[in-house]
Structure 1
Amino acid sequence: MTAEHTSASFDTDAVIDRITRFVAEQTSTTPDTDQDLFATGLANSMFAMQLVVFLEQTYAVTVAGPDLQLSNFRTVKSMAALVGRLQAQPAAGSDV
């Protein structure tokens, strides 16, 4: 038996690497992990929506409500932290 959503199974470095590659593919620029994508002009509101969809599809999470704040998408590290936090939460309705 294995637990799918344990903190030990979350590989922050791998998530950072995958998000960095996605941003690089979309912008033709490889960002630093702490680089503010919006302040530097790499991201805008349209790209923010692409980031939401990418994170949801790639990591099987739902980004909604209070998680849809710009601060969660400013940097690669902040997106990786968001993914880690969302994966650590129990799935909605899982105890039904």
Structure 2
Amino acid sequence: MNSTIGEITEFLTAALRQGIRPEDDYFALGLADSLFALELVTFVEERFRLTVEVEDLDLESFRTAAGVADFVARKTAGAAAEPVDVHEPAAAQPATPEFATGHDPLR
């Protein structure tokens, strides 16, 4: 899991443009907001090839690099998370209202 924490910390440091340690609460420090939370979830899904479900969206799991690494370990249930190159183009996701809420407000 140390490599997972390292990759997550590296991403956070680059994205937030400030050194981040595994236990730093970047939300409490005022370095991150809800838009960054979406970016972080996308990074986790793409980098570790997993799906973050609505029921997984607990701030405690995404508040620190250590928390994110624990989340990845739980989601992969002991199976080795296979990192991917986050610079590879991902499949385009349609920007739809139901993406954020699970339902289409126009229906």
TM range (shorter): 0.7 to 0.9
Unpaired runs of 5+ residues, structure 2, are 80-107
Deviation digits for residues 4-54 of structure 1 (CA, Å, limit 9, x no counterpart) = xxxxxxxx1000000001011111111111111100012110000000000
Please provide the CA RMSD for this pair.
1.4
Q: TM-score, normalised by structure 2?
A: 0.70
Within the alignment, does 1:51 sit opposite 2:40 as a pair? Answer: yes
Structure with the larger helix share: 1
After superposing on structure 2, the runs of 4+ consecutive aligned residues of structure 1 that deviate more than 4 Å are none
Unpaired runs of 5+ residues, structure 1, are 1-11, 91-96
How far 1:56 moved relative to its partner?
Answer: 0.2
Within the alignment, does 1:33 sit opposite 2:9 as a pair? Answer: no
Q: How many residues align?
A: 79
Within the alignment, does 1:62 sit opposite 2:16 as a pair? Answer: no
Structure 2 counterparts to residues 53-92 of structure 1, below 5 A: 53-88=42-77
Q: Of the two structures, which has the highest relative contact order with CA contacts closer than 8 Å and spacing of 6 or more? A: 1
Q: TM-score, normalised by structure 1?
A: 0.78
* Percent identity of paired positions between Structure 1 and Structure 2: 37
